[in-house]
Structure 1
Amino acid sequence: MSGGLVLADISAGYGAVQVLHGINLNVEDGSITAVVGANGAGKTTLLRTITGQVRPTAGTIRLGNGADLSRVPVEDMVRHGVALVPEGRGVITELTVEENLRLGGLWRQDRKAATAVLADMYDLFEPLARRRKAAGHQLSGGERQMLALGRALMAAPSLLLLDEPSLGLAPKVTAQILGMLRRLRDDTGLTVLLIEQNVRSALAVADHGVVLNLGRVVASRPAAELAGDTDLRHTYLGF
């Protein structure tokens, strides 16, 4: 199953308010693409449109295998290999770490495979292995982000979508979380679309960077090239 993603001329919004204007975006299979921009740039609306929470008014959204995501119900995204880690982490605080993780693999028919993936999550996120019986509300912010990421990975996605994973985290924890994305890309070929306001960290981990401004793509280049463009950074990214 290909993890690539192609958006062609996507427009979307809320009622009469159009937020996205003709977005073209190509997320290559096995890569990390970071979408960055200031508040109000349209980053979260873009992610909601990809996942079907907002329906586009124009354009197409296709996976690398040709599947048309714009026609897929939200609840069926996981069966197409798409997993989302929403802003705010979305951990069910009343459940334990292990219960949250198992919830992410519920759709899988093969119980043995789900158990094997659970073991993989504990290998990847060692702090969760130590706290597997702890309730979600007992975890630190970094541990909750690891848990949200682990739960999404329990579905064995080919495309992982993350909305502001560094929000509220200390710089050291942010570096650890984003570093795990590179490890996953390198070890498993996972494709990642990262929506992030922490521009420096996002571009440091990404292969490709896309800058949004007022719902339009103003730059799409290799991440290192974007990070080195002083004029563009000052104009659109604030540093």
Structure 2
Amino acid sequence: MTLLQVAGLVVGYGAAPVLHEVDLTVPPATIVTVLGANGAGKTTLLRTLSGLLRPIGGTIRFDGGSLAGVPVERVVRLGLAHVPEGRGVVAELTVEENLRLGGVWQADRRDARLAQDEVYELFPALAARRRHAGHQLSGGERQMLALGRALVARPRLLLLDEPSLGLAPRITAQIMALLRRLCDETGLAVLLVEQNVRSALSVADQGVVLSLGRVVAAADAAQLRDDAGLRHAYLGF
């Protein structure tokens, strides 16, 4: 079964394509990591899937339905949540207010409150600082808050862009372990864009390598990890 299916995706800014005929699939309860150097098109891919950019060509299907022309708010209601690079926290709002924003599209107010309580259980550090503003949090806490706000929306697919950026290795390891646990225990699927290749491959089921907007490899994460030639050519280790 496939939750997300992307076929022949072409995306550009103006007349210049950035993604060229990109194909990928994300099954339920699976972490698929998208790897590649800066400028490979990884962030452009996530922005297109979440409805922020319009593709030039190709198809995007989520749970069997087309996402062509679907507005961002409808994409969220369908079950896709996007955590952009930079953590996406509203600095002036408190932790609690940021989490409430995550449930703004939920019709069931009671479930939205329950989802917020579940986030506090996942991230005890946020529970202790729920009255603090976003700008008062550490980098790790802001990343937890951005992830928690996305989870309040009850997504089936989480689009996650560079969650380890600027974080200590210990915090990165905690976030990666949490993603693995959520997939295994709740059925959440994750499309993970990450520069920390070793960390991403340690938790992912599958990997896709982009180079200059094209897919140059797609395989099980373990296979990518063990392919020395591919790693040296495209992944820098």
Which TM class, normalised by the smaller chain length? over 0.9
Deviation, 1:3, is 7.6
Q: What whole-Å deviation, never above 9, does each CA across 1:91-113 have from its counterpart, x for those lacking one?
A: 00111101100110011122211
8 Å CA contact 1:50, 1:70 repeated in 2: no
The one-letter amino acid of 2:135's match is: H
1:124-148 superposed Cα distances (whole Å, 9 cap, x missing partner): 1111011111111110000000000
Task: Find the partner of 1:173 among 171, 174, 179.
Answer: 171
Q: Distance in 2 between matches of 1:131 and 1:235?
A: 44
Q: Unaligned stretches of 5+ in structure 2?
A: none
Deviation at 1:82, TM superposition (A): 0.5
**SS class of match (2:223):** helix
Aligned to 2:9: 10
Letter in 2 for 1:172: R
In structure 2, do the counterparts of structure 1 residues 3 and 76 end up closer, same or farther at CA, with 3 Å as the change threshold? Answer: farther
Contact 1:3/1:81 (<8 A) preserved? no
Query: Counterpart in 1 of 2:99?
Result: 101
What is the aligned partner in structure 2 of residue 42 from structure 1? 41
Q: What is the distance in 2 between the residues matched to 1:97 and 1:220? A: 38
Paired amino acid for 2:35: V
Distance, in Å, in 2 between the alignment partners of 1:90 and 1:20 is 24
Give, in whole Å, the separation in 1 of the partners of 2:24 and 2:107: 33
State the alpha-carbon separation in 1 of the partners of residues 52 and 119 from structure 2.
28
Counterparts of 2:224 and 2:196, CA distance in 1 = 14
The code of the aligned residue for 2:226 comes to: G
The number of equivalent residue pairs is 237
**TM-align CA RMSD:** 1.1
Question: For structure 1, which runs of at least 5 residues remain unmatched after alignment?
Answer: none
Match of 2:233 in 1: 235
**More displaced, 106-115 or 35-44?**
106-115
Deviations 1:39-84 (A, max 9, x none): 1111011111111221111110001x21111221122211110101
- Name the SS of the counterpart of 1:53 in structure 2: coil
Aligned ranges 1:71-110 → 2 under 5 Å = 71-110=69-108
Look up the match of 2:132: 134
CA contact (8 A) 2:6 2:59 kept: yes
Query: Following the alignment from structure 1 to structure 2, what is the Cα–Cα distance between the partners of residues 232 and 46?
Result: 21
2:137, 2:148 → 1: CA distance?
14
What amino acid maps onto 2:111 in structure 1?
A: A
- Counterparts of 1:131-210 in structure 2, within 5 Å, are 131-210=129-208
Identity %, equivalent residues: 65
TM-score by length of 2: 0.98
Checking the alignment, whether the CA contact within 8 Å between 2:2 and 2:25 is kept in structure 1 is: no
Partners of 2:117 and 2:142 lie apart in 1 by 18
Moved over 2 A (4+): none
TM-score (norm. length: structure 1): 0.97
Summarize the Cα distance change of 1:115–1:78 in structure 2 as closer, same or farther, 3 Å threshold: same
User: 1:33 corresponds to which residue?
Assistant: 32
